[in-house]
């Protein structure tokens, strides 16, 4: 069982939110590039890497 102080929990949640945002931006960039280049396999590859 893990016990955290309220401040630690807030930092932890903010860090997770930041990482989630970074992943979303990365995938968005790949998808936008794929749409321009019509290379949709790169979207699949990027999603697979992000899910690992």
pLDDT of residue 4: 64
pLDDT of residue 7: 82
pLDDT of residue 44: 85
pLDDT of residue 49: 84
Residue found under tokens 């945002």: 21
Give φ, ψ of 49 to 5 degrees: -65, -40
Domain assignments of the chain as residue spans, ordered by start:
24-52
The pTM (predicted TM-score) of the whole model is 0.65
Average confidence (pLDDT) per 10 residues, the chain, 52 residues: 74 94 89 86 83 80
Please report the sign of the dihedral spanned by the C-alpha atoms of residue 24, residue 30, residue 35, residue 40: negative
């Amino acid at each position: 069982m893990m016990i955290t102080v309220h401040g630690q929990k807030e930092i932890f949640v903010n860090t997770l939110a930041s990482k989630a945002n970074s992943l979303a931006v990365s995938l968005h960039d790949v998808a936008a590039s794929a749409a321009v280049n019509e290379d949709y396999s790169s979207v699949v590859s990027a999603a697979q890497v992000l899910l690992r």
